[in-house]
Chain A
Amino acid sequence: MNTEFVNVNPENIIDESQKLKFAGYHLMQQCATRVPDAYELIYTFGKDLEVKQLKMTLPEDQEISSITSIYPCAFIYENEMHDLFGVQIKMINIDYEGKLYRTAIETPFK
């Protein structure tokens, strides 16, 4: 299976997601990894058994646009990234505002 990661600019995530949507890809997952002073975000899209993975480095103090306007099911992954890592995501369709997970400490994976 193709598991290559394609580096993209976080500012272009809407355009990139839209292209994949038009090409018939569905959203498989979004996840964050902590790197010094930033987050590494990986968005995985699938079509049949084919996979495309977009990788972005987002500075800690920057926001990224939600892709829930293109993939409504992204709300669950984006709320997770926000609650566990503190990734700042704007315009999530269903925004739990930090209440998807009930954690003892705020953003425990940050």
Chain B
Amino acid sequence: MSNRSVIPFGPQHPVLPEPIHLDLVMEDEKVVEAIPSIGFIHRGLEKLVDKKDFNEMVYVAERICGICSLGHGLGYSEAVEHIMDIDVPARAKYLRTIWSELSRIHSHLLWLGLLADAFGFESLYMDCWRLREDALDMFEASTGGRVIFSVMKIGGIRRDVSDEMLKDFYQRINKMEEDLKTIAKPFLLDKAVQTRLRGVGVLTAEQADALGCAGPFLRASGIARDIRSTGYCAYGDVDFEPIISTEGDSYARTECRIKEIFQSFDIIRQLIDRMPSGDIDVPVKGMPNGEYMMRIEQPRGEALYYVKANGTKFIDRMRVRTPTFANLSGLVETLKGCDLADVPILVLTIDPCISCTER
């Protein structure tokens, strides 16, 4: 009979840029159960609604995470705009969408780099992060920031982007696309990489749906659920289909994210081609009164923003449900039965963002 033992994984681990702890219950080299534990860096940002007014909360939302910063500002702003019945100008919606897709590109490239690092491909890791710099440069040129952008506001955006800059973005996107075609090959075709990813941590479509998973982690199991399909921001004006894979393993998650980067290039090009002219914001009058649950598709998956306002400048409640929080249940399921050596890769394949989870 096998002996059972418990191996602590994290909160500090080479594959974890942020702290999360797992108690791995082992039978020899196999994981039979994983018990997650979070809360090492919980900041209680949602509680700041008591001290910051509803406009200032945009900055707080942006500071939930350094990777998904733009999306958090967007989700919160859209929720308040729905409550106040504000019609954001079309140009602002288009620019919000372009920045959202740039966020997806840099987030997925960051993740690909971390994955390459995890299976020991150092040059590939640096290639991914070098390419990611191009996306950050575009952010810096258009918003003034590389991590926290502070470009979102209730009623629109703070900075316009000139047509010349958009043309330049178009060229840069084309160049990035060519570079990514080269970088993607080792991830998708290299046999050593496939050995580490194929058949590892399989999550079936039924499991992924029942566990409430989100984002590429869900879509890699064959479920075509992408909140961009609801048409929020300017997504209603672009042509795209959710990217899915069917195998539900670590390779499928990698493939999904790579295809999503290519899709983001295409969406940005469509938006630049159709960019309307006009204002980038509208004046905001009065105070929000009501409640709304906004859904957006962050790079890591569906994020929910609940805002409850009472007609004063301080809102009652802001609640953010981040994709990593939803994917923890799926992670625990995929870890069951895997080898100890595969645990780091599996933790990585949900693309964990602990800052988001510990908002």
Residues of A within 8 A of B (CB): 1, 3, 5, 26-29, 31, 33-34, 42, 44, 48-49, 51, 53, 71-73, 75-76, 83-84, 94, 96, 99-103, 108-109
Given contacts A1-B295, A42-B306, A102-B42, contact A73 B212 (CB under 8 A): yes
Given contacts A26-B210, A26-B212, A44-B304, contact A49 B39 (CB under 8 A): no
30 pairs, CB–CB < 8 Å, chain A vs chain B: A3-B292, A26-B211, A26-B212, A29-B304, A29-B306, A31-B306, A33-B317, A33-B319, A42-B293, A44-B304, A49-B225, A51-B293, A72-B210, A72-B211, A73-B210, A73-B211, A73-B329, A75-B329, A76-B325, A76-B328, A84-B44, A94-B35, A100-B38, A101-B38, A101-B39, A101-B42, A102-B40, A102-B42, A108-B47, A109-B46
- How many Å lie between the Cα of A53 and that of B232 in the bound state? 19
B281 within 8 A of A: no
The majority secondary structure among interface residues of chain A is mixed
The majority secondary structure among interface residues of chain B is mixed
Number of interface residues of B (CB under 8 A): 36
Interface string of B24-60 (1 = CB under 8 A from A): 0000000000010111101010110000000000000
Q: Which of these, B37, B47, B329, contacts A72 with CB under 8 Å?
A: B329
B290: shortest Cβ distance to chain A, in Å? 10
B146 within 8 A of A: no
**B212 & A27 in contact (Cβ 8 Å cutoff):** yes
**A31 & B44 in contact (Cβ 8 Å cutoff):** no
The 3 closest A-B pairs by CB, nearest first: A73-B329, A101-B39, A29-B321
List A contacts of B304 (CB < 8 A). Answer: 28-29, 44
- Select from chain A the residue with minimum beta-carbon distance to B210: A26
- How many Å lie between the Cα of A23 and that of B210 in the bound state? 12
List B contacts of A109 (CB < 8 A). Answer: 44, 46-47
- Select from chain B the residue with minimum beta-carbon distance to A80: B325
Residues of B within 8 A of A (CB): 35, 37-40, 42, 44, 46-47, 82, 209-212, 225, 227, 229-230, 232, 291-295, 302, 304, 306, 308, 316-317, 319, 321, 325-326, 328-329
A15: shortest Cβ distance to chain B, in Å? 19
- Select from chain A the residue with minimum beta-carbon distance to B227: A49
List A contacts of B294 (CB < 8 A). Answer: 3
**A49 & B230 in contact (Cβ 8 Å cutoff):** yes
Q: Which of these, B47, B210, B326, B329, contacts A28 with CB under 8 Å?
A: B326
List B contacts of A49 (CB < 8 A). Answer: 225, 227, 229-230
List B contacts of A26 (CB < 8 A). Answer: 209-212
- Select from chain B the residue with minimum beta-carbon distance to A48: B225
